[in-house]
Amino acid sequence: MEFITYEVEDMVGIITINRPKALNALNSTVLDELDATLDQVDLDAVRVLILTGAGEKSFVAGADIGEMSSLTKEEGEAFGKKGNDVFRKLETFPIPVIAAINGFALGGGCEISMSCDIRICSDNAVFGQPEVGLGITPGFGGTQRLARIVGVGKAKEMIYGARNIKADEAYRIGLVNNVYTQEELMPAAKKLAATIAKNAPIAVRNCKKAINEGLQVDMDQAIVIEEKLFGDCFETEDQKAGMGNFLEKDKSKKLKVVPFKNR
Ligand code: DAK
């Protein structure tokens, strides 16, 4: 791959968007490679993904303005769909995805981070949806996800004003869960990923599904979604081991790490 690197460490997959000369801007090739990388993740071996950008300056500085500048209406729509499909794949990916935001997260960069389950950032991170300054609307879900994460008023202020915010404000409005120094960011992302990875994988996956799908429907339907996914955990080895360990008061035993295929 030209612009994506993927490595696996201890049940954690790390995807790095690697186009630092363009501040990791998303062109069609980056989107295609990201899509292909997600398809290749071995869900029997990997329990959490971390998404980050190469270099010290930028996570993702947006969709590629050079590539977009000459698009026709039809091509613009197709480019928007390509991005939206990948972002949705990330959002609905069976395992949790942590965005480790190491600098600029503008336009499509802010949007891709919002497709992840959890966002943490370095203290040099800058977030924003500058699209109206370029004569377009946010096109990779920004109008929808930002309002859901930080609330309608804040999202409208940022989007209408094309106003960038720094890491401390992103933390204050709940766009990121935590802010670290640049050096601390990846270790913190890996620590968080490890904390998640040691828990029962079917239960973690079902929690993601329950939260995401439940938020799209009313509470009566949402509770039914939770009931089904709760029931789905029973008879798994982890449910038996997890509850068995508690009843036996045996804290030394860990949840079993067995591939999904064998469950
Ligand atoms: N696209 C292409 N190249 C970019 C880029 C981008 N978004 N951002 C930076 N680069 C390139 C620069 O052109 C420069 O390239 P060279 O000149 O060296 O060849 C290199 O990265 C370094 O950038 P700078 O020299 O500008 O670095 P500075 O530190 O001075 O400034 C900056 C950093 C992040 C403040 C600045 O680069 C900047 O303002 N970048 C653009 C940020 C931005 O506006 N991003 C939002 C893009 S709009 C849609 C689908 C999707 C979208 C919309 C519609 N549909 C089709 C429905 C999404 C839109 C966006 O994301």
What are the tens digits of pLDDT across the range 194-203? 999 999 999 9
Segment 168-187 shows an average pLDDT of: 98
Looking at the chain, the whole-number percentage of residues with pLDDT higher than 70 is 95
Look up residue 109 and give its two tokens: 């960069």
Average pLDDT taken over every residue of the chain: 94
CB of 130 sitting under 6 A from ligand 1: yes
Ligand 1 pocket, 238 CB below 6 A? no
Q: Which of the 8 DSSP states describes residue 42? A: -
Q: Which atom of ligand 1 is nearest to 109's Cα? A: 61
pLDDT of 250 over the 80 cut: no
Could you report the per-residue pLDDT of 88-137, keeping only the tens digit for each?
999 999 999 999 999 999 999 999 999 999 999 999 999 999 999 999 99
pLDDT for the residue 33: 98
Active site residues: 111, 131
Residue 262: band (very low, low, confident or very high) from pLDDT cuts 50, 70, 90: very low
Our mutation pick for probing the ligand 1 site, out of 65, 71, 111, 164, counting the most ligand atoms within 8 A of Cβ, is: 65
Measured between alpha carbons, how far is 186 from 180 in angstroms, rounded to an integer? Answer: 9
82 CA distance to ligand 1 middle (Å): 18
Q: Please check whether residue 118 is in contact with residue 192, taking contact to mean a CB–CB distance below 8 angstroms.
A: yes
**16 or 77: whose pLDDT is higher?**
16
- pLDDT the model gives residue 240: 86
Cβ contact 23:57 at 8 Å: yes
Q: What is the DSSP letter of 117?
A: S
Q: 23: CA distance to ligand 1 center in Å? A: 7
